[in-house]
Each structure stands twice: as structure tokens, then as C-alpha cells.
Structure 1
Amino acid sequence: MPLHDACRPAVRAGAGRAAALPVIALCALLAACSSAPTRHGKVEGESFQAGELIQSDSNRMATLAMKENLDSLVRIMDKLYRRNPGEWKKTAESREAAVAYVRIAIMERQPWQELQGERDVAALSLALRPDFTGDRVAAFVYAAADTIITAHGNRTSFTLVDGLDPQRVFNAARNLEIANWILNSRKSSSGQPLLLSNELAEQERNLSFEREMGKIIGRLDLVASFTTERYRRSVIGYGQGLLAGPFMQFLPVR
């Protein structure tokens, strides 16, 4: 038998194995994707409430943004308490209890005693002073929440009779940017960071605090821009009605 005839079956077998490798790799990849452990969640709307009947689209968006911002601040508080356990011990017997106390004070608009009656940006300034000796996590989160609520006219829910000043909402976003920068750069009287927030170690990088603050600032900017655009479009719509009115009348047909 000639040499090339003897080698032909071996060539076909080798080619078959080579062709099968990409198929096996593709199947393995698909199997890995189908069993990925990470769940990204899904968008879910809230159940209908009677109060929505007196809300416009912009009212509803502002209400949802406020809810998400306050929830983000609670998550920030929990993160800061985990990294600074000495702070929650100044407020409660447990981290969970301290979070609950601060949340109630925010939602019920109760003053936080350690802030000495100061509100919004004045409270932020006090909470970020190097010589502040109280629960700095509670004071910072409470003051940040109070700044946001004050900028929204001291409301957390909005209806058709409520209006927003977009400039004040925009200013609140800038104030939180400044507060975030101070928190990450200023030192206490002992030369230590005011609070441990982000982690930038060589082995581990944890920027969850920064991301959550970025979400809050982004939502505030969106509400400010949307409110400004809504007022602007209202004026334009009114002008269009005046100009187009004479040309939009029905013509006689008989």
C-alpha cells in the first residue's frame, strides 16, 4: 500500500479532533455563562397607591429620586459603621439599632442632638469638623439627608400643588460633592482620616462608598435638569399655543 494511502485515515481522524475542539470550547463557555453566580436583578415598579392620582410625571420622578437617595444614604451609613465601629457605639448598643435611630430621625424630621440644632449645610460643616466628638457617621448622614430634603422644599413626596426650585436641588448636589471631598481629604485632630470610607489597598479596592455617593449626586442633577426643562417647555408650549392658535382653527365645510 502506498504511503499516502496508509496515512489518509490518520489525517481524517486528526482533522476530526481538531474540528471538534472549537465546538467543545464553545459548549464549555455556554455552560459557564448559564451557571454564572452573579444576579443582576431586574427593574420592578412599585405597587399602585392612591396618592399617585394627584402626582404628575415630574412629581412621581422627584418622589422616586428622593426615596432612592434616602435609601442610598442608609446604605452609606451602614458601610461607614462597618468600617468605623467605634462610631455606632456612641449612639446605640448595636450597629443595626444605630442605623434605625438615624433613619427614624431623618424620616420624621427630628433634630439630631449632637448637631446642636444646626440643619442642612451648617450641620454638614459641624459633622465634618476635625474636633467633632460625637457619632460622626450619624451626624454626616443625617446632615446630608437634611440638605437634600431642605433643597426639595422640606418634602420627601410631591404632588401637583408642589413645586421645586431646580437651582436649590443643583446646589444640594454640589454641596454633597464638597462634603464628600472634605470627608476623603480632611484629617482629625489626631491626624487620622475623619472616617474610613473607600479602600485603596494594593490587594483590595473597595469604592462602594464613592459609587453610592455618585448615584445620589447624579439623581439630584437629573431632577434639577428635568425640572428646569419642564418649566422651559411649559413656557415654549404656551407660546406655541398663542402663535399657532389662529392657524389651527377648523375651516367651514358647508
Structure 2
Amino acid sequence: MEHSRPTLLMESDPMVRVRHHRTLVLLSLTALLLGGCANSGDPRPFQLKNLAKTEIDMVTDLHIQTVNRLARELTIKLYKRNPRELAKVPGMTVVQRLDVLFGTPRLITHAELNNLYAEKAVPLAFDPAFEGDRVFALMVGITGMLHASYDYRNEFYLLNELNQQKLYNSARNLEAVAWRLNTYRHADGDPFLFANSTTNLSFERLLGKMIAHQDMMANIVSDATNRTINTVVHGIASTTLLPI
């Protein structure tokens, strides 16, 4: 009887029972999902690494994938409207630019941009003295701000944390970028980059979607962590961008 008593005590401990139940559920779920992976028709196969993700981690991953997809689309559209920018670098192609912008691991230094990245690269696209590829400068700025707002990660796990202020700041900076695309011009009146027109506002829509996603993630993180967002007024016409 003395040997069986500890077992009975463990079984009567509610915390032990809860942990035991959670383990069984997790193992059952793992077996079920792994079994589902055998079906070749499953478009999103289960991966063991997902067991180390919270619901917020998975939502974050989806947001990262979405804003990256929107940024890729924006890059392609800008090069179509501004082919002269790509031609500034002999032999350069849009595919090569996309590989650099979205490759893994992500490059955060570019000699042709004086190694500027994220919000620090954006001003080059609207600098009259800059003779390089303005589309590349702008997209290194945009993709860099998005990348920095997710702590330079492409995936999130249990111990990774997000900063709601960085997400919020990136959204405000994207608003400023949209304003600059429509407003900043050369001395002769031509825009630095051709984007929106009266009949085509797709660039503005893409940026608007990115802004919405960043604001949504900022609010999700703020609610989950009970940390407030500093919503200090920062006009879109400001000459400086918020730090990320």
C-alpha cells in the first residue's frame, strides 16, 4: 500500500490531472494532424514546429505573409510604371530585385543605397541628388520597415515577442510614403516615381492594405500584452519618419 499511495496522490492532484489531460490532447492532436499530412491533397501540411506556436504567433505569421505579398505586388507595379529606374543598373531584372528584397536570409545592407535600410532608405527615393534606382530605394525602405516591425523575423514562436509601437510606427510611415508618392516632385514638376493617376489608384490601395494589416497587428499585440500604443500626432507631411 505504501508504494501505491504516491500514485493515488498524484492522480488526485487537479493540476497533475490537467497537465496529463493536456498532454493526451496534444498527442492525439499531433497524431491526427500527422495522419492528415499523408493526404497529398492537403494544401497546408502540418509541421511539428507549429506545436511551438501560440494562436497569436500563427496570426502574426499570416500577417507577415500577407504584407510581404502586397509588397511584392507593389514592387512589380512600380517597376512597370518606372522602367527607367531598373535600367539604371545594367543587366538588372525585376526577378533579381525581388530575390534581394524578399530572400532568406534577408539582406539589410545594400552598397548602392549607402547601406541604408528601412525608414532610413525611404528619403533616397525622393532625393533630387540620388542617381540610383528609386524604386529599389523605396522598396528597401518599405520592406525594411515591415521586416523591422516584426523584429526582423519571418516566423514567430512561443518565446518571441512583438512590439506594438514598432507596428504602429510602421503604419504611420507607410501613410507618409503614400503621401510622398503623390506629392514629391522634381523641380520640373515630374514625380520622382510615377504611381497613382486619376484612373489607376492600385498603388494607393496596396499601401492602404499594408497600413490596415500593420494597425491590426499593433492593436492585437497591445490588447494581448496590455501595453499601450503611443499615438502621438505625427503628420504625414513630416520630413522625418518614425523610428522602428
Q: Same fold (TM over 0.5)?
A: yes
Q: Contact 1:102–1:138 at 8 Å: present in 2 too?
A: no
The 5-angstrom pairing of residues 73-112 of structure 1 reads 73-91=71-89, 93=91, 95-104=93-102, 108-112=106-110
Query: How far apart, CA to CA, are the structure 2 residues paired with 1:107 and 1:195?
Result: 28
Q: C-alpha offsets along residues 185-210 of structure 1, whole Å, 9 cap, x if unaligned?
A: 0002443101111121xxxx111111
Q: Contact 2:142–2:174 at 8 Å: present in 1 too?
A: yes
CA 1:90 to 1:51, structure 2 compared with 1: closer, same or farther past 3 Å? farther
In structure 1, stretches of 5+ residues that fail to align are 1-43, 234-254
How far is 1:133 from its partner?
1.4
Match of 2:135 among 137, 143, 146: 137
CA 1:144 to 1:181, structure 2 compared with 1: closer, same or farther past 3 Å? same
CA 1:124 to 1:107, structure 2 compared with 1: closer, same or farther past 3 Å? farther
Query: How far apart, CA to CA, are the structure 1 residues paired with 2:98 and 2:220?
Result: 32
Query: How far apart, CA to CA, are the structure 1 residues paired with 2:104 and 2:193?
Result: 21
Which structure has the greater CA radius of gyration? 1
Match of 1:60 among 58, 61, 65: 58
The 5-angstrom pairing of residues 12-23 of structure 1 reads none
Q: Contact 1:152–1:169 at 8 Å: present in 2 too?
A: yes
In terms of mean alpha carbon deviation, does 107-116 or 131-140 score higher? 107-116
CA 1:117 to 1:94, structure 2 compared with 1: closer, same or farther past 3 Å? closer
Partner of 2:165: 167
Q: C-alpha offsets along residues 77-120 of structure 1, whole Å, 9 cap, x if unaligned?
A: 10011111111112353643343343356852241222202222
Match of 1:114 among 106, 112, 115: 112
SS at match of 1:176: helix
Match of 1:155 among 140, 153, 156: 153
The 5-angstrom pairing of residues 213-228 of structure 1 reads 213-228=207-222
How far is 1:144 from its partner?
0.8
Q: Which amino acid aligns with 1:120?
A: A
Q: Which has the higher helix share?
A: 1
Query: How far apart, CA to CA, are the structure 2 residues paired with 1:226 and 1:198?
Result: 31
Partner of 1:180: 178
RMSD (CA atoms): 2.2
Q: Contact 1:105–1:112 at 8 Å: present in 2 too?
A: no
How far is 1:62 from its partner?
1.0
CA 1:104 to 1:62, structure 2 compared with 1: closer, same or farther past 3 Å? closer
Query: How far apart, CA to CA, are the structure 2 residues paired with 1:96 and 1:157?
Result: 26
Query: How far apart, CA to CA, are the structure 1 residues paired with 2:53 and 2:150?
Result: 16
How far is 1:67 from its partner?
1.4
- Does residue 210 (structure 1) correspond to residue 204 (structure 2)? The answer is yes
Q: Which amino acid aligns with 2:85?
A: E
Q: Contact 1:106–1:146 at 8 Å: present in 2 too?
A: no
Q: Which amino acid aligns with 1:230?
A: A
How far is 1:58 from its partner?
0.5
In terms of mean alpha carbon deviation, does 107-116 or 61-70 score higher? 107-116
Q: Using structure 1 for the length normalisation, give the TM-score.
A: 0.67
Q: Using structure 2 for the length normalisation, give the TM-score.
A: 0.70
Q: Give aligned pairs, total.
A: 186
Match of 1:125 among 89, 102, 123: 123
